[in-house]
């Protein structure tokens, strides 16, 4: 395969899944892993991808952020799998914070319709709060602040001040990227601070990010990966990457696909 053909093949794979590994590319191209790493490094310099541990991920601008509407249909099966795992972690009578996001709204729907009741849900997301309009035995507290129209949530100093008054049993926190090296990241500083605060004021904190968010980096660091009780992602994250987190004693779960 000619060099341009190899590049096209790698980019095609990255359109289909979040990560390509050095090992799989070495097998596909019949090249040494050293040669594959050199190729990935060259492609990163061209801005075509982002190098990560064991392979490469899609290239994204550190300031890039999809709107809620744009994100809602992306990786929906993976988000439902993550939500199902997280719902199993919640007990009757607990206080739960649901961060804004299209994964956490799937969890909100499970809580609203599920068998576990008398849960107190606290959220900064208006669309998540509305999921409980007809679930009168689920308490809801909406934390206000500066409205983010594209994400349908509140953030800023008022939100931070409110969080100082709480200690949650469980918090489910979202973000834009995660990696062992950079931790959890998101484009906006005020959101990074708020999400980091959630990890501090919760007895059990779960960072919920589907596998497409592995690798790459947004502008602002939320926290290092060991700040959360657990990372919950999905079955598409390669086993080699999961093993790398586990080697560093980072609790990570790849939620299995939800069968219809």
Distance CA 191, CA 122 (A): 16
φ/ψ (deg, to 5) at 185: -135, 160
Per-residue pLDDT of the chain (260 residues; tens, 9 = 90+): 567 788 888 888 887 777 788 888 999 998 999 999 999 988 888 878 888 777 887 776 544 455 455 556 678 999 999 999 999 999 999 999 999 999 999 999 999 999 999 999 999 999 999 999 999 999 999 999 998 887 889 999 999 999 999 999 999 999 999 999 889 999 888 899 999 999 999 999 999 999 988 887 788 999 999 999 999 999 999 888 899 999 999 999 999 998 76
Q: Are 128 and 96 in contact (CB under 8 A)?
A: no
The pLDDT score that the predictor gives to residue 70 is 54
The pLDDT score that the predictor gives to residue 49 is 82
Q: List the beta strands (DSSP E) in 109-218.
A: 120-123, 139-142, 146-148, 153-155, 168-173, 177-179, 183-186, 202-208
End-to-end CA distance of the chain: give it in Å, rounded.
40
Residues 6+ apart with CB under 8 A from 8: none
The pLDDT score that the predictor gives to residue 62 is 47
> Which runs of consecutive H residues, i.e. helices, occur in 114-247?
126-130, 157-163, 189-200, 239-247
The pLDDT score that the predictor gives to residue 63 is 44
The pLDDT score that the predictor gives to residue 1 is 57
Among residues 184, 168, 16, 224, the alpha carbon closest in space to that of 101 is found at: 184
The pLDDT score that the predictor gives to residue 116 is 95
The pLDDT score that the predictor gives to residue 164 is 94
Q: What is the pTM of this model?
A: 0.77
Phi/psi class of residue 87: alpha, beta or left (left: φ > 0; alpha: ψ in -120 to 50)? alpha
Residues linked to residue 58 through DSSP beta bridges, in sequence order: 49
The pLDDT score that the predictor gives to residue 131 is 97
What does the block give as tokens for 245? 């987190």
Could you say which DSSP state residue 136 is in? T
> Which runs of consecutive H residues, i.e. helices, occur in the chain?
3-16, 22-29, 33-45, 68-72, 76-89, 104-113, 126-130, 157-163, 189-200, 239-247
């Amino acid at each position: 395969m000619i060099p341009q053909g190899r590049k096209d093949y790698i980019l095609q794979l990255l359109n289909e899944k979040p990560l390509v590994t050095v090992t799989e590319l070495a097998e596909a191209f019949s090249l040494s892993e050293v040669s594959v790493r050199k190729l990935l490094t060259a492609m990163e310099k061209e801005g075509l991808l982002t190098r990560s541990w064991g392979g490469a991920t899609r290239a994204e601008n550190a300031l890039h952020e999809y709107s809620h509407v744009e994100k809602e249909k992306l990786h929906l099966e993976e988000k439902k799998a993550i939500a199902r795992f997280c719902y199993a972690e919640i007990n009757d009578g607990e206080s739960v914070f649901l961060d804004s996001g299209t994964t956490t709204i799937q969890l909100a729907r499970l809580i609203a319709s599920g068998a576990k009741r008398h849960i107190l849900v606290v959220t900064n997301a208006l669309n998540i709060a509305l999921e409980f309009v007809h679930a009168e035995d689920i308490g809801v507290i909406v934390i206000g602040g500066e409205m983010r129209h594209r994400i349908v949530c509140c953030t800023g100093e008022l939100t931070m001040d409110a969080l100082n008054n709480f200690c949650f049993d469980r918090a489910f926190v979202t973000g834009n990227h995660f990696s062992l090296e950079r931790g959890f990241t998101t484009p906006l500083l005020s959101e990074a601070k708020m999400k980091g605060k959630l990890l501090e004021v919760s007895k059990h904190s779960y960072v919920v990010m589907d596998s497409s968010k592995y690798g790459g980096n947004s502008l602002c660091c939320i926290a290092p990966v060991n700040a959360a009780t657990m990372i919950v992602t999905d079955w598409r994250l390669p086993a080699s990457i999961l093993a790398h987190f586990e080697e560093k004693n980072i609790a990570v779960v790849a939620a299995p696909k939800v069968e219809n």
